Structure 1
Amino acid sequence: MMVPVRRLRRRFISFLMYITRDQKTLFGISFLLGMLLAVIFQSFHSTDDFNIAKYSYDFAYEKWLYSRGLYSVNTDPDKNRYKDKNEIDVEAAVNPMTEAGFLYSQVPVVCIVFPDQLSAALTVKNTWGQHCNYLRFYSAKVENSSIPVRKIPSKSSFGLLCSALLDLEKEELNYSWVLFFTEDTFVLPENFRYFAAALNSTGEHYLGHAIRFWNVVYNWGDAGYALSRGAVSALLNRFSTQELCEAGGKYWKNGDWYLGKHLHDLGIFPVDTRDEQGKGRFNGFSFKKLLFPGGVSLFERYWKDSLYLSPDGPQCCSNHAISFHGILSSSKIYQLEYMFYHLRPFYSGGIYGNSPAPPPIKAPYLSWEEKMKEEELQKMFNSLLTTPEGMHEVLASSMHDALS
């Protein structure tokens, strides 16, 4: 039986009017449509669409160590490479025999945070901020002499950022990198040092999560970003006064964009900072959003504007991630500080994971990433051998034949 088009139209309009009156029905339909769109998006975006790098570990950090006559060795996992902050004296808590202690002295970093609330500044100071060589707070809204937070009146976020760098230069600190983060970001400075150690900080480097907006490629402020000392010098050669800093930005919330624009004019550009698996180091979302597949909305600009994408879900984040943005409560930041820096899973001290059995020849206890890294390392060593692999077996067989 044919139904007139006019009647179908009336029924459809009546249905729309019904669901807009019933909020629960409207919410349910909207939720189902959102889930459907997310599934379609995930189905049409394979790992190739995320431009994930093929595994090719470059050993930049190991080569940097070797150039100094050093190399990494296994140690008790409870020491790991993070500084132990149980000591009252911060410097005394740095074990110089660990990688964390070594990198703390070799790759000094200044962490700059722009807080809107004094309570947030105090939280950063008591948690991850302790792991920076130097920690500085600048704000256009609040001021405090005990934390301390220095107030710099500014009409734009770029003006505040630029003026903060001018103020930093007056201190004549011995630093290699300046890291910029928001007050609601949790940061692992140790992982940044590990990543940046092989880079020459006197060069002009601009690290973060690259994103495009208004035809400018810049590092996203939510994920945090870092400038090498060389990049800072180049920027301040152009913005040598606070007046010039203020003239360099117009809108308050676009400080990261203006910074990228000015660095672009100086020939300094963002680069791909993902690890060899294509996983993000600088992350502009929280653990809750990134680790749950579909947690980052399909409509977030992250998917459209990011130059170097990482999928959400288990493949989102590097094992050596540097930052996670959107930690909205002080209690969460204190929890993360405890879990990363104080929680000790190996209660008896342990030797390489409390594993008493000797490892099999093929070392199946390694993760697939560690296995691939081991294979790449073996390939590199084999290429350096002057004697072909297996030659000793050939020689032994020939010697046996000769004696027979």
Structure 2
Amino acid sequence: MKHQIFHNIPRNVWILGFVSLLTDISTKMIDSILPLFLVSTLGADLFTVGLIEGIAESTASVLKVFSGILSDYFGQRKQLAVIGYGLSTLVKPLFAIASSPVWVLMARFGDRVGKGIRVAPRDALVADVTNKANLGAAYGLRQSLDTIGAFTGPIVTFVLISLFGQNFQLVFWVALIPGIFAVVLLAIFIQEPKTKFEQTQKNLLNRNSLKSLGKEYWMLVAVALVFNLGNSSDAFLLLQAQQIGVSTAFIPLTIVVMNITYFLSAYPAGLLSDRIGRLRLLVSGFLLYALAYLGFAFTSVSWQIWVLFMLYGLYQGMTKGILSAMVAETVPTNLRGTAFGFINLAIGVALLIASILAGSLWELLSPKATFITGSIFAILATGLLLVNKRR
């Protein structure tokens, strides 16, 4: 049975998963120490950390719209994905030579531009090659493989810091290697689907095409927007862990714990959503996030931090792939790239506001205020989802 389940997942989805795995090793090696590098080495304050993260993430999200639209228009997903992954790898050395927060902003900006170019075409490509009955499993598998990279990266960082002290530059240089392998794997082994969809619109960014995405899709966009207004950068979770008493060397391992839980839950959650429906899993995931963020607000003992990172990983496993599957099955085939682009734009706008808001609340009030606010937005998004379903 297990073999049959995996057998239903197309080759392209597996390869995209391994490309994501390698890219995430590279990215998470950097992300797991970047807030500490900014604050302790470059002397940045928390508002600057939030601003850098917000600008970087929102840039990626704006570009996802255009890359998604272009991939629909030309029917070419792979080329845009190669450009996106390639750019993210190309700017990695900027982290290693950074001498001020401005350099870090440039590096994060370039990295996220690459992400912005690749994500919508990649997510649409998964749906293009997958049977509708297996969409949850396909997105869950890609997410699981991605997440192996997300916990391997911080482990590599932990080993390097344990062996060589706080040599952040060394970590940044080593992070370049898996990024290069990812681009090579994508360029050589991914194939565009042979059956191209017919494009009836000359201009995809018009009122008719946006209307034909449907009310159900736009409600998902609204829910994602509200939820992510409270979903600030994970940098704040790392800084909270440090404040509660987790030592600097062990900070990257909090990300490892989070991503192991994410890895273990993403594929089973996707598979389950194919069987029982996606809504109740998405609602459960949002409520779990609200609970975890309240935990981060009120925790005072370092062992509790590890439990909270596990819950946070479980929330991601129960929501991210499932939301992608909901988008893919809600919209017309020839507008999938556009649909993924717009929902990522909404998320990106929200993340910019969330990270700046989180940094401001942290500086002006307290870390507690940052996490309570995140929890409230998650509860509001859950309410919106349930009210819409009842209608």
TM-score range with shorter-chain normalisation? Answer: under 0.3
Query: Which structure features the higher share of strand residues?
Result: 1
| Structure (1 or 2) with the larger CA radius of gyration | 1
Query: Which structure features the higher share of helix residues?
Result: 2
TM-score (norm 1): 0.21
TM-score (norm 2): 0.22
